[in-house]
Amino acid sequence: MSPQASITFGASSSLGVSAVDRDPFIAHNFDVDLGAGPIAFAEVSGLGYEIDYVDDSGTAERTREKKKRAVARVTEVRLRRGVTGDMSLWRWVGAALAGSYETRTVTIRLLDAQGAPACAWVLRGARPIKWLGPTLSAMGSAVAIEELVLAADSIEFTATGD
Protein backbone atom coordinates (compact mmCIF):
# COMPACT_ATOMS: atom_id res chain seq x y z
CA MET A 1 0.00 0.00 0.00
CA SER A 2 1.42 3.40 -0.98
CA PRO A 3 1.71 6.20 1.57
CA GLN A 4 -1.05 8.80 1.45
CA ALA A 5 -0.85 12.51 2.09
CA SER A 6 -2.74 13.65 5.13
CA ILE A 7 -3.57 16.92 6.82
CA THR A 8 -3.35 17.21 10.56
CA PHE A 9 -5.65 20.00 11.69
CA GLY A 10 -4.12 22.29 14.25
CA ALA A 11 -0.62 21.69 12.90
CA SER A 12 1.42 24.52 11.42
CA SER A 13 2.62 24.55 7.84
CA SER A 14 6.09 25.61 6.76
CA LEU A 15 4.60 29.07 6.12
CA GLY A 16 3.59 29.44 9.76
CA VAL A 17 -0.11 29.17 8.96
CA SER A 18 -2.20 26.87 11.05
CA ALA A 19 -4.59 24.53 9.30
CA VAL A 20 -7.30 25.91 11.60
CA ASP A 21 -6.64 29.59 10.86
CA ARG A 22 -9.52 31.94 10.19
CA ASP A 23 -11.12 32.15 6.79
CA PRO A 24 -9.67 34.80 4.44
CA PHE A 25 -11.14 38.27 4.80
CA ILE A 26 -13.44 39.74 2.18
CA ALA A 27 -11.70 42.43 0.06
CA HIS A 28 -14.65 44.83 -0.06
CA ASN A 29 -14.64 45.62 3.66
CA PHE A 30 -11.90 48.22 4.26
CA ASP A 31 -11.24 51.82 5.21
CA VAL A 32 -8.50 54.32 4.42
CA ASP A 33 -7.08 56.96 6.74
CA LEU A 34 -5.01 59.68 5.04
CA GLY A 35 -3.80 60.92 8.41
CA ALA A 36 -6.88 62.89 9.49
CA GLY A 37 -9.52 60.19 9.91
CA PRO A 38 -11.10 57.62 7.62
CA ILE A 39 -12.22 58.58 4.10
CA ALA A 40 -14.41 56.31 1.98
CA PHE A 41 -12.71 54.83 -1.09
CA ALA A 42 -14.18 52.41 -3.60
CA GLU A 43 -10.89 50.72 -4.46
CA VAL A 44 -7.29 50.40 -3.32
CA SER A 45 -4.74 48.77 -5.60
CA GLY A 46 -1.00 48.50 -6.01
CA LEU A 47 0.00 47.70 -2.42
CA GLY A 48 3.37 46.05 -2.76
CA TYR A 49 7.12 46.07 -3.13
CA GLU A 50 9.30 45.48 -6.16
CA ILE A 51 12.56 43.81 -5.21
CA ASP A 52 15.68 43.89 -7.37
CA TYR A 53 18.83 41.92 -6.69
CA VAL A 54 22.02 43.79 -7.49
CA ASP A 55 25.67 42.85 -7.36
CA ASP A 56 27.38 44.04 -4.22
CA SER A 57 30.56 45.13 -5.99
CA GLY A 58 32.58 45.94 -2.86
CA THR A 59 32.20 42.42 -1.49
CA ALA A 60 32.63 40.79 -4.90
CA GLU A 61 36.08 42.36 -5.40
CA ARG A 62 37.43 41.15 -2.07
CA THR A 63 36.19 37.58 -2.23
CA ARG A 64 36.02 37.06 -6.01
CA GLU A 65 32.49 35.83 -5.49
CA LYS A 66 29.42 37.46 -6.90
CA LYS A 67 27.26 38.44 -3.95
CA LYS A 68 23.80 39.87 -4.36
CA ARG A 69 21.79 42.15 -2.16
CA ALA A 70 18.13 43.04 -2.33
CA VAL A 71 16.99 46.57 -3.08
CA ALA A 72 13.29 47.15 -2.51
CA ARG A 73 10.99 49.96 -3.56
CA VAL A 74 7.33 50.53 -2.82
CA THR A 75 5.00 50.28 -5.81
CA GLU A 76 2.55 53.07 -6.59
CA VAL A 77 -0.65 52.78 -4.55
CA ARG A 78 -3.88 53.81 -6.28
CA LEU A 79 -6.90 55.04 -4.32
CA ARG A 80 -10.21 55.44 -6.17
CA ARG A 81 -13.37 57.03 -4.81
CA GLY A 82 -16.60 58.63 -5.87
CA VAL A 83 -16.38 62.41 -6.19
CA THR A 84 -18.09 64.16 -3.27
CA GLY A 85 -18.00 67.60 -1.67
CA ASP A 86 -15.29 66.39 0.77
CA MET A 87 -12.23 68.59 0.13
CA SER A 88 -9.68 66.78 2.36
CA LEU A 89 -8.11 64.81 -0.51
CA TRP A 90 -8.04 67.83 -2.80
CA ARG A 91 -6.34 70.00 -0.12
CA TRP A 92 -3.45 67.49 0.03
CA VAL A 93 -3.13 67.42 -3.77
CA GLY A 94 -3.45 71.21 -3.89
CA ALA A 95 -0.61 71.62 -1.40
CA ALA A 96 1.61 69.47 -3.65
CA LEU A 97 0.58 71.52 -6.70
CA ALA A 98 1.60 74.67 -4.79
CA GLY A 99 5.08 73.21 -4.21
CA SER A 100 4.66 71.80 -0.71
CA TYR A 101 6.30 68.44 0.09
CA GLU A 102 3.84 67.10 2.65
CA THR A 103 4.24 63.42 3.51
CA ARG A 104 1.71 61.53 5.57
CA THR A 105 1.23 58.19 7.21
CA VAL A 106 -1.62 56.51 5.35
CA THR A 107 -3.32 53.49 6.89
CA ILE A 108 -5.39 51.02 4.90
CA ARG A 109 -7.35 48.69 7.20
CA LEU A 110 -9.01 45.47 6.10
CA LEU A 111 -12.06 44.86 8.30
CA ASP A 112 -13.55 41.56 9.44
CA ALA A 113 -17.22 40.61 9.03
CA GLN A 114 -18.13 42.57 12.18
CA GLY A 115 -16.37 45.73 10.91
CA ALA A 116 -13.42 45.49 13.30
CA PRO A 117 -9.87 45.98 11.96
CA ALA A 118 -8.35 42.61 11.04
CA CYS A 119 -5.09 43.78 9.48
CA ALA A 120 -3.57 46.96 8.11
CA TRP A 121 -1.03 48.28 5.67
CA VAL A 122 0.69 51.44 6.90
CA LEU A 123 2.33 53.59 4.24
CA ARG A 124 5.07 55.75 5.73
CA GLY A 125 6.20 58.88 3.93
CA ALA A 126 3.20 58.75 1.56
CA ARG A 127 2.81 61.61 -0.88
CA PRO A 128 0.57 62.30 -3.89
CA ILE A 129 2.25 61.82 -7.27
CA LYS A 130 -0.80 61.82 -9.53
CA TRP A 131 -4.45 62.79 -9.42
CA LEU A 132 -6.98 61.83 -12.09
CA GLY A 133 -10.43 63.37 -12.32
CA PRO A 134 -13.58 61.56 -13.33
CA THR A 135 -14.62 60.57 -16.83
CA LEU A 136 -17.84 62.45 -17.47
CA SER A 137 -20.46 61.31 -19.97
CA ALA A 138 -24.00 62.55 -20.52
CA MET A 139 -24.84 59.15 -22.05
CA GLY A 140 -24.33 57.06 -18.93
CA SER A 141 -25.23 56.79 -15.28
CA ALA A 142 -21.86 55.76 -13.84
CA VAL A 143 -20.57 57.27 -10.60
CA ALA A 144 -17.98 60.03 -11.10
CA ILE A 145 -14.71 58.49 -9.83
CA GLU A 146 -11.47 60.29 -8.97
CA GLU A 147 -8.13 58.56 -8.45
CA LEU A 148 -5.18 59.49 -6.26
CA VAL A 149 -1.83 57.78 -6.85
CA LEU A 150 0.61 57.71 -3.95
CA ALA A 151 4.31 57.04 -3.62
CA ALA A 152 5.58 55.92 -0.21
CA ASP A 153 8.89 55.26 1.51
CA SER A 154 7.75 51.99 3.10
CA ILE A 155 4.77 49.73 3.74
CA GLU A 156 4.34 47.98 7.06
CA PHE A 157 1.84 45.13 7.45
CA THR A 158 0.19 44.42 10.80
CA ALA A 159 -2.42 41.85 11.79
CA THR A 160 -4.60 41.86 14.91
CA GLY A 161 -4.75 38.83 17.13
CA ASP A 162 -1.26 37.57 16.27
The pTM for the full model equals 0.78
137: in domain: yes
Predicted confidence at residue 57, as pLDDT, reads 66
| Max CA separation in the chain (angstroms) | 75
pLDDT at 4 over 70: no
Counting residues of the chain whose pLDDT is more than 90, the rounded percentage is 68
Assign residue 111 the CATH number of its domain.
2.30.110.20
pLDDT tens digits, 100-112: 999 999 999 999 9
CB within 8 Å of 147: residues ≥ 6 apart? 78, 79, 80, 130, 131, 132
Distances (CA, A) of 100 to 83, 93, 94, 95, 103: 24, 9, 9, 5, 9
Predicted confidence at residue 103, as pLDDT, reads 96
Look up the domain containing 37 and give its range: 30-47+75-159
Predicted confidence at residue 132, as pLDDT, reads 97
How far does CA 98 lie from the centroid of its chain?
Answer: 27
Over residues 55-77, the mean pLDDT reads: 76
Count of the separate structural domains present in the chain: 1
pLDDT at 95 over 70: yes
Closest by CA to 55, choosing from 40, 45, 46, 65, is 65
Looking at the DSSP bridge assignments, the partners of residue 112 are: none
pLDDT at 2 over 70: no
